Structure 1
Amino acid sequence: MQLKKLILLVTVLAGSYTLMAQTDKNSIDDKQNESQKKIKKSKTQLKDAEANFLLNYYEQDGDHSPVTGGRGTEKLENVAPTFVVHIPLDTVSNLDLNFGIDFYTSASTNNIDYFEGRKTGASGKDVRSHINAAYSRDLRNSGNAYSLMAGFSAEFDVTSFNFGGSYTINSKDKNRSLSLDALYMNDSWKLLYPYERRSDGTNWLKDDKRTTMKFGLSYSQVINKRLQALFSAEVVSQTGLLSTPFHRVFFDDVNGIPYDNLRSFSHVEMLDDNRLKIPVSMRLNYYLNDFMRLRTFYRFYTDSWGITAHTASIELPIQITPSLIASPFFRYHTQTSADYFYEFGQVSKAMVDAKETQFYTSDYDLSDLSSTKIGLGLQYSPLLGVGRFKSPFVKNKQVQFKSIGLRTAFYDRSDGLNAWLVSLDFAFTF
């Protein structure tokens, strides 16, 4: 199920880190840089707090749901309001908070009990809540910086917590920096099997917890007045429950049998309980002229399940007016299939019975595929802000409505899945 991949693999922290996966089709893109220049302040003056309200909408459709064995609807809608707050605690330390709720409907989830007469096609509904916090501090004597972070999320069948930290070494001229970071995540699952597989009480999967550890290294440098570069590499180790309990797989003994008669033929997805991921990426940002910048990105990905992937993207922010920036962008992704992926009715029952293969899945996220994403970002940020109003929290304090951002994209994948993404961003200072 596509949403499950997003909410378990992605840890959103304001100004922080994102856990790498082989695809990132559901993720909301980074916000655009502001067009206006900030007013210079004394080093001893506390900066304003900032708050962003984001309203994200995502919808998709396809016909290869892993919940029904690689066949069936993947229709899903997700509405995700999110608040991101940046609070300067003093002149050298900051607190970032990120919290929100995902409201989603999923036809795939609704088909967990498909063979029990609950196959109306209507979408199942659920809610996921999440909160993340990060504390960062600049070290005046050395010019370096560090951060600490923690987070929690919960929905009907998964609860998750994470914590981590980073340390950044800056050059004296601030043109070069080296960052080391680490993240630990623990997911606890309710083992909800397909109804026909849980009625006999068998524990098909031996673990109900998933542990993820990430170690990252990045190096950034200002090469000249026009060109900046960022190189990063990560090692991500996952252990425990890496299968999704309610994903079905059908062996080759079902070929020719009508789907509605396959109740006794379904199997629970089985995946290796260890996975090592290694993504390596590079970003180049080039200042073309006063009105246009070029942003490029490339990532190479490989893992112990046999997937090798390449991702490349390009974005061209254009200053239409002093207050308006338009950013068209394009992203291309391609990957090889995991060793354990089989289409519906493709895995050999004889091979499984002879224990020639232990693992099998019909989740097309792990298939041989390519995808494209094309979209446009708009940001309206007048020099003096969109407007001002009195603070509801602090007497005699004004809040500046700083900017409005809109980002929309269309995603298309070679297996037939397609999606729309829209994100609205309202930025304030107070």
Structure 2
Amino acid sequence: MQLNKRKPVAVSLALATSALLNQTAAAAEDWQVDTGLLIYSESDSRVSATEPVISVTRNFADESSVSARLTLDSLSGASPNGAAVAGIPQTFTSASGIARLQKAEDDDDDDEIEEYGDRAYYVTQAGDTPYDENFEDNRTTLSLSWLRPLENGFKLNLGGAYSTEGDFTSYSINSALSKDLAQNNTTLSLGVNLEFDEVAPDSGIPQPLTSIIAADTASNTDTKQVTDLVFGITQVMTRRWVTQLNLSLSQSSGHHDDPYKFLTVADQGNLIEDPNDNGLDGVTTYLYLYEHRPEDRQKISLYLQNKVAVFSNDAVDISYRYMTDDWGIDSNTFDLTYHLDVAGQFYLEPHFRYYEQTAADFYTPFLELGTDVSMSGTEINALVDYASADPRLGAFSATTYGMKVGVPLFRSHELSLSYEAYQQQDKNSYRETAAGSDLDGQDQFAELSANWIQVGYSFRW
């Protein structure tokens, strides 16, 4: 798991379809309330997050229901800025830090001026991964859904979501239609999600593959549109075994760049000075170019899930997902959960997840002068169309181990506590550097480890 403050918050059609297909008939009208608190922390003082959530569902006697879900995120910490690890110190200018400093000066806020005055420029020591410590944001997400049984075994689910944070806003609407067949042993479904995102960075949208010192902006805001389709079939295999197969198609177009990430430009593995630096601050500023990604992306994924009841009250939930896209990323996800009933008093759910992906075609740990970038005086030209050093686009594998404990309480109340640990492993090919250069022998991928705890409380009345 890796949190990303600029990740689009959309309704997950796979989950929405799964919830639709697994909806059980309500014997009577009632309310279902689910609450939770997530506390997330990454290693090396990277991102930390606190996320409370509440979901309320009203079930009606005709098997229809309406649901609302509110999620609040508070994120802060340090995030890799994309620059390569070097054997020499590096000084960076933080666009977000400077923007916040300017706002503090406009507001005449002395405390903010002091804080962001120190953070507008930051230094990464030799051998350390460059992190921008100005990563902080608050995000609010509200989603609504309505489930309605129709005639002849059809069910309709309509929903929408709205998410907002400091530099990002997202709207989405979704719909899923299912049909029960073969005495309700087979369910076919079709779902669609339409999403519109707007990004508005603190210092505007940077001109792709240009020097961060030049600070050329293309615009103040940009947009992205996403269309998702999910085709699903759920089959009751036996009275103790249910399987589900989903095929998902996704098309996104518009702004995919991360406006806060850039790449190092090196010459035979040695950092070179930015020719646009005026040198007035007395600090050597090396050449870094803003990243750039394709404006279109198509993804196809296949998801298979099996739920099997074992012994008297236990169950196994095992799933596999394969995803491929036209950026060159292929991924495999294996997920396993075992529900263990302990004497009818409480339950344990050990959890294991394995994930691996290949790198995007344009992923690179740094750019090489003469091969990827040309420079003549102060004129800088990228010789590649796209490039990014974002580790989320690199090749890696990741394992997650976890345990959940749930305790049923009085009158349909339940308290749960879960813990998860996540660890990445670098799978990228090492890009050659000259012996003894600034980048020689340095890590080229920022591996991530994280831990999180979640407390949940749910009840019906």
TM-score between the two structures when normalised by the length of structure 1: 0.79
**Percent identity (aligned):** 19
Aligned mates of 2:340, 2:349 — CA distance in 1: 6
Q: Structure 1: how far apart are the matches of 2:364 and 2:452?
A: 29
Consecutive unaligned residues of structure 2, counting only runs of 5 or more, are 82-91, 98-118, 125-131, 274-281, 375-380, 427-446
Question: Alpha-carbon deviations, 1:366-416, whole Å to 9, x = none?
Answer: 11111100011111114x43xxxxxxxxxxxxxx6x101112110000143
The alpha-carbon deviation at position 83 of structure 1 amounts to 0.6
State the aligned residue count.
380
Change (3 A) 1:429 1:6: farther
Look up the match of 1:417: 448
Give the equivalent residue in structure 2 for 1:152: 162
Counterpart CA distance in 2 for 1:371 and 1:109 is 18
How much has 1:88 moved relative to structure 2? 2.4
Equivalent residue number for residue 395 of structure 2: 368
Q: Distance in 1 between matches of 2:54 and 2:362?
A: 39
- 1:126: which partner in 2? 137
Residues 14 and 367 of structure 1: CA distance in aligned 2, closer, same or farther (over 3 Å): closer
Shift of residue 349, structure 1, vs aligned partner: 4.8
Shift of 1:231: 0.4
Measured in 2, the distance between the counterparts of 1:423 and 1:211 equals 32
Instruction: State the shift of 1:2 in Å.
Output: 4.7
Q: Which amino acid aligns with 2:147?
A: S
Are 2:8 and 1:8 aligned?
Answer: yes
Q: State the match for 2:443 in structure 1.
A: none
Letter in 1 for 2:190: L
Structure 1 Cα separation of the partners of residues 338 and 245 of structure 2: 20
1:304 equivalent among 309, 318, 326: 326
Residue 352 of structure 1, CA deviation: 4.3
Give the whole-Å Cα distance in 2 for the aligned partners of 1:101 and 1:41: 30
Deviation track 1:177-218 (CA, whole Å, cap 9, x = no partner) reads 011000011111114459996775623479710111100011
Report the counterpart of residue 185 of structure 1 in structure 2: 195
Secondary structure at the counterpart of residue 292 of structure 2: coil
Which consecutive unaligned segments of at least 5 residues does structure 1 have? 19-29, 63-73, 386-399
Give, in whole Å, the separation in 1 of the partners of 2:26 and 2:35.
25
Counting only pairs closer than 5 Å after superposition, residues 365-404 of structure 1 correspond to structure 2 as: 365-382=392-409, 384-385=410-411, 402-404=413-415
1:258-297 equivalent positions in 2, closer than 5 A:
263-297=285-319
1:156-184 deviations in Å (ceiling 9; x for gaps)? 10011100100001115211101100001
Structure 1: distance between partners of 2:316 and 2:284: 53
AA partner of residue 136 (structure 1): L
Q: Which residue of 1 aligns with 2:438?
A: none
Q: Note if contact 2:422-2:451 (Cα within 8 Å) is conserved in structure 1.
A: yes
Give the Cα–Cα distance (whole angstroms) in 2 for the partners of residues 369 and 224 of structure 1.
38
* Contact 1:192–1:245, Cα closer than 8 Å, also in 2: no
Q: 1:122 to 1:352 in 2, by over 3 A?
A: closer
Alignment CA distance shift 1:288-1:88 (3 Å): closer
Over residues 68-106 of structure 1, what are the superposed CA-to-partner deviations in whole Å (9 max), with x where a residue is unaligned? xxxxxx701010001101012552321110112101112
- AA aligned opposite 2:460: T
Counterparts of 1:99-138 in structure 2, within 5 Å, are: 99-108=70-79, 112-113=94-95, 116-118=120-122, 124-138=135-149
The verdict on how the C-alpha distance between 1:14 and 1:242 changes in structure 2, with shifts beyond 3 A counting, is closer
Contact 1:249 1:266 in 2 (8 A): yes
Task: Give the structure 2 partner of residue 250 of structure 1.
Answer: 264
**Which segment is superposed worse, 280-289 or 349-358?**
349-358
Cα 1:6/1:172, change in 2 over 3 Å: farther
Shift of 1:251: 2.2
Write out per-residue CA displacement over residues 213-268 of structure 1, whole angstroms, 9 at most, x where no aligned residue.
10001111110122211101100111100011111111233833399966351111
Letter in 1 for 2:121: G
1:93 alignment partner in structure 2: 64
**Structure 1 residues 350 and 98: alpha-carbon distance in aligned structure 2, compared to 1, 3 A threshold:** same
Say which SS state the counterpart of residue 4 (structure 1) adopts: coil
Cα pair 2:168 2:197 within 8 Å, conserved: yes
Given candidates 163, 172, 180, the residue that maps to 1:162 is 172
* Residue identity opposite 1:425 in structure 2: G
> How well do the aligned residues superpose, as a CA RMSD in angstroms?
3.3
Q: TM-score, normalised by structure 2?
A: 0.74
CA contact (8 A) 1:192 1:246 kept: no
- Residues 250-305 of structure 1, C-alpha deviations (whole Å, 9 max, x = no match): 12338333999663511111000000111101011122211422111111110000
Query: Does the CA-based 8 Å contact 1:59-1:75 persist in structure 2?
Result: yes
Q: CA deviation at 1:53?
A: 1.0
Conservation of the 8 A alpha-carbon contact between 2:265 and 2:272:
no
Matches within 5 A, 1:213-224: 213-224=227-238
Secondary structure class of the residue paired with 2:360:
coil
- Structure with more strand by fraction: 2
In 2: Cα distance, 1:61 partner to 1:254 partner: 32
- Alpha carbons of 1:374 and 1:6: their partners in 2 closer, same or farther (altered >3 Å)? farther
Decide whether aligned partners of structure 1 residues 56 and 10 sit closer, same or farther in structure 2, where only a CA change above 3 A counts: farther
Please give the alpha-carbon distance, in whole angstroms, between the structure 2 residues aligned to 1:150 and 1:178: 22
